[in-house]
Each structure stands twice: as structure tokens, then as C-alpha cells.
Amino acid sequence: MTAPPPQALPAPPPPPPVVQIPAPDTSRVQFIAQQRTEARRLEATGALTRARMTWRYVLAMAPDDADARQQIARLEGLIRTRRDAALAQGEAAMMRGQIAQAQTAFLRVLALDGANDQARRRLLELETRAAFARQDRKDARARIARTAGMESPDDER
């Protein structure tokens, strides 16, 4: 009697797959670090709106970044305070008739908040006043020239 052929043993199960945990995206991490540094540099130079925008880049890349959120909120408050102060300075300068100082203050407002309608309206008003004043001076020179019996250089044109 012959012995039955030996049965083959079942093959061992394959090893479990090796799960590779991806390394953090170093270029992304580096970019975020560079943006943080740039935001702080911009703020130190007084470029508050650009610093706020740079912090927003950081927040877009890292939505859970509490520091970026805090920096944006802090900068928004600082920008608002400076904008309001510049608006008040511009209004006061207008009341005193200091046109150049008023223009400078309103331009500072627009540098902080480019969409500020009040500063835009005031600058337009100042420019309109200046145009009327130039025309009044021109008309006065023409009247003086006519009274003196002379032609003004503007009459020849």
C-alpha cells in the first residue's frame, strides 16, 4: 500500500502592506515660514495692509493656524485705528483751510483702506475747489487786463 501523497501546505498569507506616512510637504512648510517672516517684516516697515494680506496667505495655506488668525485681527484693528485718525486729521485740515495737509491725510486713508468712500469724496471735493480757484484767478487776471486796456495772454487763444 502506498502512502497518499503529502498534501501541500497552504502558502503563508502575504505580509500586510506597508503604510507609508507621507513626509510633510517641505516646500509648503517652507513657504508658510517665509510668508510669516515676510508679514512680520512688512509690519515692521509700516506696510500694514500688505502685512495683513501676507498673513491671509498663511491662513489660506494653513486654515487652522490660530496665530495667523490673531495677527490678521490685530492688524485689522490697527489699520482701522490709523484710518480713522487720518480721516479726522483730513477733516480738521479742511476746516482750517490747509488743503495740502488735508490731501495728504486723505491719501493716507486710501493707502490704508483703498475703498474708503469718505476719503475719495473729500479728495474729489478738494480737487473741485482747486479747479474753481484756478478758474477764478484766471478770470480775475482777464478782468484786470481788460480794465487796463490790454489783452490777456489767454484772450489770444
What confidence score (pLDDT) does residue 106 get? 96
What confidence score (pLDDT) does residue 48 get? 95
Q: What is the DSSP string of 62-92?
A: -TT-HHHHHHHHHHHHHHHHHHHHHHHHHHH
Q: Which residue has the cell 491719501?
A: 107
d(CA 140, CA 129): 16
Please give the chain's pLDDT, 157 residues, in tens. 566 666 666 767 766 665 555 566 788 899 999 999 999 999 999 999 999 999 999 999 999 999 999 999 999 999 999 999 999 999 999 999 999 999 999 999 999 999 999 999 999 999 998 888 888 888 888 888 888 876 655 555 5
Ordered by start, the domain boundaries in the chain are 26-147
d(CA 38, CA 50): 10
Q: Which residue has the cell 489767454?
A: 154
Residue 73, C-beta contacts closer than 8 angstroms, at least 6 positions apart: none
- 95 touches 111 (CB < 8 A): no
> Could you tell me the fold of the domain covering 26-147?
1.25.40
